[in-house]
Amino acid sequence: MPTALLYEKLPDRSVRCQLCRHRCSIAVGKRGRCRIRENQGGVLAALADSLVVAEQIDPIEKKPLFHLLPGSRSYSLASVGCNFKCLHCQNAAIAQYDDQDSGILPGRQLDPAEAVRRALAGNCRSVAYTYTEPTVWFEYALATARLAAEAGLYNIFVTNGYITPEALTMIAPVLHAANIDLKGFSADFYHRVCGAKLSEVLDCIRDYRRRGIWIELTTLVIPGENDDQQQLNGIARFIAEELGPDTPWHVSRFFPCHRMLDHPPTPLTSLERAVEAGERAGLRYVYEGNVSTGREQTNCPHCGALVVGRSGYAITRLNLRDGSCGSCGQAIAGLWG
């Protein structure tokens, strides 16, 4: 079994994982919160290394990343596991999988070199580590990302934003972009719904920005949970003041799933309030997701011209020249070439 990266040995052969911000202390024979890192006789093992549970070629817009290589294809893969316990998890079967009864993790072996070969064969321009939480299968993501970067591919994390500075330091040289969930803006929401700390997520997002990794944020707006004006305003201000007004914010519609089947779908009025909060805060790029309202276009913040037209995951217009508006020459923030 592959030995995990980033842990320290403690007395009585226990270990402390340094991969995510939970920093789990794990006794012999036990696992961390992610359920895929196990203390085997005082050595932390990465149980899911090179074990793939999902593999697909997606439009980059599906991540969603709207300011990275629009219209391109992204080779998307996932191993099992997550360090959150979100009540609204859309991929709970693989993200929150617990094998304590069977003792067998799901998936099949796919080594990093073969993953990169498949990405290139599929005419992809990036590799996305997605569907579950890539932080917890860090060894696999890191090995694949290094090979992908050597092959000229972009690397993308779709993440809950809980990686430690130590782990981000290791992968940052080959990590080009991330879509980070900012799931709400109250400590209570994060503790009760996600099993995590808002303060740690905010610090992690700041860390991504400091390192120059391109980031876009996503908030799934859930009725009665994170759709109050105080939280929406708080997210918008945080993005504008600490990340900059050019940071895209995707506000997405919730549909009942997992342990929130009793919650209704998000009213369109709630998405509109989120968009208005972003506009009041000065954000230049606010998009609506999981709904067809037309708020998926990228317009030039200077002249208002359509820069990237979208319909679902399809690009309908591309009015960019060397990363600038094709109509007025204004630079448009993102990674375009």
Whether residues 130 and 159 fall in one domain: yes
Whether residues 20 and 42 fall in one domain: yes
The answer to whether residue 198 is domain-embedded is: yes
Whether residues 114 and 215 fall in one domain: yes
- pLDDT at position 97 is 80
The structure tokens 């009025």 sit at: 269
The answer to whether residue 216 is domain-embedded is: yes
Q: Which of 94, 92, 90 is closest to 80 using CA atoms?
A: 94
**Domain of residue 215, CATH code:** 3.20.20.70
Full pLDDT tens readout for the chain, 337 residues = 689 999 999 999 999 999 999 999 999 999 999 999 999 999 999 999 999 999 999 999 999 999 999 999 999 999 999 999 999 999 999 999 876 555 678 899 999 999 999 999 999 999 999 999 999 999 999 999 999 999 999 999 999 999 999 999 999 999 999 999 999 999 999 999 999 999 999 999 999 999 999 999 999 999 999 999 999 999 999 999 999 999 999 999 999 999 999 999 999 999 999 999 999 999 999 999 999 888 999 999 999 999 999 998 999 999 999 999 999 999 999 999 8
Whether residues 18 and 72 fall in one domain: no
- pLDDT at position 102 is 57
Contacts of 320 (CB under 8 A, 6+ apart): 307, 308, 326, 332, 336
The answer to whether residue 288 is domain-embedded is: yes
Whether residues 64 and 133 fall in one domain: yes
* Torsion sign (Cα): 64, 337, 178, 134: positive
* Parent domain of 26: 7-46
Whether residues 308 and 297 fall in one domain: no
Domain tally, the chain = 3
Whether residues 259 and 335 fall in one domain: no
The answer to whether residue 278 is domain-embedded is: yes
Whether residues 82 and 162 fall in one domain: yes
The answer to whether residue 74 is domain-embedded is: yes
- pLDDT at position 2 is 83
Whole-structure pTM value: 0.96
The answer to whether residue 2 is domain-embedded is: no
The answer to whether residue 151 is domain-embedded is: yes
Cα gap 335→13, rounded to integer Å: 46
